[in-house]
Amino acid sequence: MSQSEFEIIQRYFVDSGLGFARTGVVLGIGDDAALLQLPPNRLLAISMDTLLAGVHFPATAEPALIARRALAVNLSDLAAMAATPLCFTLGLVLPESNGAWLQGFSEGLLDLARKYECPLVGGDTTHGELSITIQVQGTVDADRVLRRDGAEVGDRIYVSGFLGDGAIALASLGLDSHLGRNFALNKSQPSASCFEYFKQAYYQPKPRLELAQACASIMSSGIDISDGLYGDLKHIVTASGKGAQLRVNLFPYSDAAIACMSVDNRMQAALYGGDDYELCFTVPPKSCQALEQAALALNTKVTCIGEVIRGSEIICIDASGSELPVSTKSYDHFGNH
């Protein structure tokens, strides 16, 4: 089958319902640009991420899962600013106009777009090796933005959810990671339930939008963990001109991670693995109780894993208080893995 670019856009991105109406979207797909109107006193937050087949997902993965992952990792950037999703644009490079693939891809997008009230408003479809570029637009009150540069000495460092699942998922799904040969499962195959858990973790990360929006005013800084806790927390401490002390024995791990990975490999996954799309954020001590209560009300796990300190380094200590050597193995697209 062969469909024209316009037929593809019409069928899978317009007729599919992906361009549903939403307050603030004045004009969606169909002109030279989309038009947005912001609520008074709100800022627009924009973030773009590109996912390449064979790098950020296997080319043969189910198209609905690829779509969900692509939109979710972008929404995670809005969560990291405490913004509310408004709409997204899609730059899709496709090797062929495969109707079944496009149908699945479109359905995966629609699922998540509806859930977060974030319609598709435009983009571009071209012919080449499969890649997906999404830009998300969100809105945020100027005085409730969650930035990287507000951490103060004494603030507690928190993470949402579990750490390391993103990297352990790669190993479970049989995909390459950059963590080297020793980073492997305890057994050659994960159990069926672990496999399902990690498939979900990898393809359907949960953007922590509710937590960020509810608690932005008591968080002093925040970022989403896409490249590994060490590298992403480093952005916070660098932007804030501070250091950090992490207690690795407090890191939260999923049951599946505990079942599949050695203690040391779990820590490697948490610190250097990436793809977790959890929030890492700092909270002044006086607000920690309020934070934990708000998280509980949202049924969102949060764990205090350390503290902002003077200096510029991230120090990792174990349960006995001994300092652990650190690596700088965060994911880097142009590094030597």
Three-state DSSP class for residue 292: helix
8 Å CB contact between 330 and 179: no
Contacting residue, 179, 223, 261, 269, with its own copies by CB under 8 A = 223
Which positions from 95 through 124 interact with its own copies, judged by CB under 8 A?
97, 121-124
| DSSP code string of 196-238 | HHHHHHHHS----HHHHHHHGGG-SEEEE-SS-HHHHHHHHHH
- Residue 335 makes CB contacts below 8 A (sequence gap 6+) with 178
Q: Is 324 in the site for its own copies (CB under 8 A)?
A: no
State the nearest-atom distance from the C-beta of 47 to its own copies, in Å: 4
Q: Which stretch binds its own copies (CB under 8 A): 36-44, 108-116, 203-211, 307-315?
A: 36-44
Element (H, E) at 246: strand 243-247
State the nearest-atom distance from the C-beta of 271 to its own copies, in Å: 17
How far, in Å, CA of 11 to CA of 322, rounded?
59
Q: Is 81 in the site for its own copies (CB under 8 A)?
A: yes
Binding to its own copies by CB under 8 A, coded x per residue (else -) over 40-69, reads: ---xxxxxxxx-x-xxx-------------
Q: Which is nearer to its own copies, 208 or 266 (CB)?
A: 208
Closest Cα partner for 155 from 223, 219, 225? 219
> Which residue type does 80 have?
A
Query: Which residues are near its own copies by CB under 8 A?
Result: 2-6, 8, 26-27, 30-38, 43-50, 52, 54-56, 77-78, 80-81, 83, 89-91, 93-94, 97, 121-129, 131, 133, 135-138, 140, 142, 145, 147-149, 223-224, 239, 332-336
